[in-house]
C-alpha cells in the first residue's frame, strides 16, 4: 500500500474549487494509478476528516506549440473529495440506562487547503 503523501500530490486552487469548499468538496491532483479507496483512505489519514465520496477524472495532455515546435502538457488525474461538513453527535445507553453523548472525532473542514478560508 502506498503512503498517503504518494497518493495525494497537491491541491487544485482555482475560483471554482474554492467556491466548492463551502459545500465540503475539495479538489486534488492525485497519482495517475491511484484508485478511489486509496484516495479516500489518504484524505482521511492526512486531514483527519470523514470522506463521504470520491469522484475522479483523468485528463490527457494538450498539444501546445512553442516557437513552431509541437509539445505536450502533462497528463494528470484529478479527484474531488466530498467530506462530511455537519457534526453529528451520537448517543448510546450507558450504565443504568442513562443516555451518553459522544462527540465527533472528525473535522468538518480542511484548514490546510488553499488560502483565506
Identify whether the C-beta of residue 57 lies closer than 8 Å to the C-beta of residue 30: no
The mean per-residue pLDDT over the stretch 94-105 comes to 72
Q: Is residue 108 part of a domain?
A: no
At residue 87, the pLDDT reads 64
In this prediction, residue 28 has a pLDDT band, given cuts at 50, 70 and 90, of: very high
| Maximal CA-CA distance, the chain | 81
Q: Is residue 107 part of a domain?
A: no
The tally of domains found in the chain comes to 1
Q: Is residue 44 part of a domain?
A: yes
Domain of residue 68, CATH code:
3.30.70.330
Q: Is the pLDDT of residue 89 over 80?
A: no
Cα dihedral 90→93→98→103 (10° resolution)? -20
Helix or strand or coil: residue 53? strand
Q: Is residue 31 part of a domain?
A: yes
Q: Is residue 34 part of a domain?
A: yes
Q: Using a pLDDT cut of 70, give the percent of the chain over it.
A: 85
Alpha carbons 113 and 18: distance in angstroms, whole number = 9
At residue 98, the pLDDT reads 77
Q: Is residue 114 part of a domain?
A: no
For residue 61, the enclosing domain spans 4-102
At residue 116, the pLDDT reads 47
**Based on the number of CB atoms within 10 Å of its own CB, is 54 exposed (0-12), middle (13-18) or buried (19 or more)?**
buried
Kindly report the pTM of this predicted structure. 0.77
At residue 12, the pLDDT reads 94
Amino acid at each position: 500500500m502506498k503512503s498517503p503523501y504518494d497518493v495525494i500530490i497537491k491541491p487544485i486552487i482555482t475560483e471554482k474549487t474554492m467556491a466548492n469548499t463551502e459545500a465540503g468538496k475539495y479538489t486534488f491532483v492525485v497519482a495517475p494509478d491511484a484508485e478511489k479507496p486509496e484516495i479516500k483512505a489518504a484524505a482521511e489519514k492526512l486531514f483527519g476528516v470523514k470522506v463521504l465520496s470520491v469522484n475522479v477524472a483523468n485528463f490527457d495532455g494538450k498539444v501546445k506549440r512553442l516557437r513552431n515546435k509541437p509539445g505536450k502538457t502533462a497528463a494528470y488525474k484529478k479527484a474531488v473529495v466530498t467530506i462530511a461538513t455537519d457534526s453529528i453527535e451520537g448517543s448510546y445507553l450507558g450504565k443504568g440506562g442513562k443516555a451518553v453523548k459522544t462527540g465527533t472525532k472528525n473535522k468538518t473542514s480542511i484548514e490546510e487547503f488553499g488560502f483565506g478560508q
